[in-house]
Amino acid sequence: MLRKRVGIVGCGAMGLYTLKRLLESRVALTIELFESEAVAGTGMPYRNGMNADYMLCNAFSREIPSLTRSLVHWLETQPARELSEWEISSDDISARAFYPRLLIGEFLQAEFMQLCELAECAGHQIKVHSSTKVIDLVVERESVTVIFNTEVGKEREISLDTIVIATGHLWPKKPSIDQAQLLSPWPYTQITQHEPGRIGILGSSLSAVDIVIALGHAHGEFIEQGEHVLWVAGEQACDLRVTMVSRNGIMPEADFFYPFPYEPLTRITQEAVCNELEYGSNGLLWRVFKLLLDELDAADPGYLKQLGPDARTIEGFSSAYFRGRKERGGLDAVRQNLQEVRASMRCKETIAHRYVLLRGHEHFELVLAWLDAADWQCFKQHLLPVFADCYAALPHLSVARVLAMHQAGVLTIVASGEDSSFTSVPSGEVLVEFSDQKMEFDAMFDARGQSSASPQELLFPSLTQNLLDGESPLLKPFRLDLSVETSARIYCLALPQVLERYPFSQGLPNCSDLSKQVVSDILEGFEISSI
């Protein structure tokens, strides 16, 4: 029997977890891996040169799914000398610790090499094409032709039975908003090489925090002793003034204690949500939201009462949820929250309402594909901001560094509101006009994170010409519908396209879950065709 030929375009985290699942195939495979970078196996968020060694991953170690072994197990096997370079000793290794993204990248790269060895041992053939840019995917009657440029600029092509597009993040080279040109924060040296001055940051989540901390390292020094962090300005930093600009003028909360493995919820469960699906899409969003309210009432009876009556409506839930932080003031609220979650960690006590919201979003994902257009927009406007806030919880050290710069008088956060406007003025500055004031920045960095995109926006021209419907969002199992007759299969796990309908898909646990669904569909097709 001829081997099935599978290609993975992109060897970051999504590509690695896809490769892991493919190795479970009972059918012998030829696997072609295409990576644009010289070194395969890390991905942009974990790659040296794109990120600094002080930028932390916001998933703690035990949350990162194993490839051939867990992160903790890998760390325990590393020489003490190498760990010391990360200021880590064997006593520091913990399943609940947050580690630098570059260290996670080293783990992923080591696991990639191990997966390639396991593939050969399992009888699969594997070929890694590094420093290779895939420029097109051409659909044929019985295959897909991958056209790519090699490191030396030579164009080559390979025909395969199945393709998984796992190209990860896609950032604009020249980001903008309204009439203003922004600066990209990638690679991080674009931040650290910028002159101190009036620097704006559009956003306030993890990317914005990374920018703040990068500016702190570039123009001063963090002095860290236990939980206490102080920032001292450098000699040339007297003009540094940093402002985070976000719609609500608040930051995500810091990470808190919760059980892992997770304890199940009791009201908003997979079974309960699936039961609601049987009643159809009419009123589906409200019915699942009611399950969430029931869960919150059971876990923390006073929480919704404290938020006020609007919190029991979909339209009012987001405003009620954020109201307390907005009233306390952005960074003052951050300081108070950090004190609360540190106590949560010390006492190992779960903050009940946060745990419900953190876990509850997973069950909303079960219904997103079934919402009608009106409910989908309602979800995006009123519930998604809450779930995104919970999902983006920050490592304590990152929060403490931000607060240290605020305490030093160089960092503020302001709310842009709904009606602000952004303009680049002739002298090069960015002017932001709020409803009640104007602010001018020497430069503004874009920290809004990855935006979603349709399949039609994939960067493979022949493929997009052959999409049956390039504008509709991808649905599980993420197989592209093609307008031409072919036995080949193309799956898309490119992050912008996945985010269009599955907005909680950026973390390593999500890479593992999504790749499992795709590979299950691939292998099922292979086994049927081999009968």
Q: What was the pLDDT predicted at 316?
A: 97
Domains, the chain: 5-170+451-529 (3.50.50.60), 176-251+395-446 (3.50.50.60), 270-392 (no CATH)
Q: What was the pLDDT predicted at 206?
A: 94
Q: Does residue 395 have a cis bond before it (omega within 30 degrees)?
A: no
Q: What was the pLDDT predicted at 152?
A: 80
**What are the φ/ψ torsions at residue 208 (nearest 5 degrees)?**
-65, -40
Handedness of CA 386, 14, 495, 418 (dihedral sign): positive
The answer to whether the beta carbons of residues 17 and 511 sit under 8 Å apart is yes
Tens place of pLDDT for every residue, the chain, 531 residues?
578 999 999 999 999 999 999 999 999 999 999 999 999 999 999 999 999 999 999 998 999 999 999 999 999 999 999 999 999 998 889 999 999 999 999 999 999 999 999 999 999 999 999 999 999 999 999 999 999 998 888 999 999 999 999 999 999 989 999 999 999 999 999 999 999 999 999 999 999 999 999 999 999 999 999 899 999 999 999 999 999 999 999 999 999 999 988 999 999 999 999 999 999 999 999 999 999 999 999 999 999 999 999 999 999 999 999 999 999 988 999 999 999 999 999 999 999 999 999 999 989 999 999 999 999 999 999 999 999 999 889 999 999 999 999 999 999 999 998 889 999 999 889 999 998 899 999 999 999 999 999 999 999 999 999 999 999 999 999 999 999 999 999 999 999 999 999 998 889 999 999 999 999 999 998 876 655
- Rounded to an integer, what distance in angstroms lies between the CA atom of residue 265 and that of residue 273? 12
- Rounded to an integer, what distance in angstroms lies between the CA atom of residue 516 and that of residue 164? 12
Where is 4: in which H helix or E strand?
strand 4-9
The answer to whether the beta carbons of residues 312 and 293 sit under 8 Å apart is yes
Q: What was the pLDDT predicted at 44?
A: 94
- pTM score: 0.95
Q: What was the pLDDT predicted at 454?
A: 97
